[in-house]
Amino acid sequence: MSERVEWDLNELLKCCKRELQMRQRVYPKWVAKGYYTEKKANQELQAMRAVCDYFVDAIFFTATRQAGAVPKRVEKS
């Protein structure tokens, strides 16, 4: 069994953003080569953006909770 690793939310967000940037560079090439359809590439990019948004929300929630404030969830449009 592998050892549990503690991760900093900011580091996870940086990793997620790097992954999103890489996908934004690579997916157009993959669509052109037929590896992905444009629809599939867009779905994958939207999913990765949602993961990044999740980490932003988690960092905000953690920071405000640690500061003693009660965070309010804001709906994204």
Domain boundaries, the chain: 9-66
What element of type H or E holds 52?
helix 38-66
29-65 pLDDT per residue, tens: 999 999 999 999 999 999 999 999 998 988 888 877 7
Q: What is the model's pTM?
A: 0.73
At 70, the pLDDT band (50, 70, 90 cuts) reads low
Half-sphere exposure at residue 39, Cβ-oriented, CA atoms within 13 angstroms: 0
User: Which residue pairs, CB below 8 angstroms and at least 24 apart, start in 20-25?
Assistant: 20/45, 20/48, 20/49, 20/52, 23/48
| Whole-number pLDDT of residue 77 | 54
pLDDT of residue 71: 54
Provide the pLDDT for residue 72.
60
